[in-house]
Chain A
Amino acid sequence: ETGVTQTPRHLVMGMTNKKSLKCEQHLGHNAMYWYKQSAKKPLELMFVYNFKEQTENNSVPSRFSPECPNSSHLFLHLHTLQPEDSALYLCASSQSVYQETQYFGPGTRLLVL
Chain B
Amino acid sequence: EDKVVQSPLSLVVHEGDTVTLNCSYEVTNFRSLLWYKQEKKAPTFLFMLTSSGIEKKSGRLSSILDKKELSSILNITATQTGDSAIYLCAVEGAGAQKLVFGQGTRLTINP
0/1 interface trace, chain B 18-29, chain A, CB 8 Å (1 if under): 000000000000
A42 pairs with B32, CB closer than 8 A: yes
A102 pairs with B43, CB closer than 8 A: no
A44 pairs with B97, CB closer than 8 A: no
A43 pairs with B97, CB closer than 8 A: no
A45 pairs with B98, CB closer than 8 A: no
Chain A residue contacts of B41, Cβ below 8 A: 56, 58
B42 pairs with A99, CB closer than 8 A: no
Chain B residue contacts of A48, Cβ below 8 A: 42
Q: Report how many residues on chain B are interfacial, defined by Cβ distance under 8 Å.
A: 18
Chain A residue contacts of B43, Cβ below 8 A: 45, 98
Our count of residue pairs bridging A and B at CB distance below 8 angstroms stands at 45
B residues 65-111 near A (Cβ < 8 Å) are 88, 97-104
Please judge, given known A-B contacts A42-B32, A42-B34, whether A103 and B98 are in contact too, CB under 8 Å. yes
Lowest 4 A-B CB distances belong to which pairs?
A56-B42, A104-B97, A58-B42, A42-B48
Residues of B within 8 A of A (CB): 2, 32, 34, 38, 41-43, 45, 48, 88, 97-104
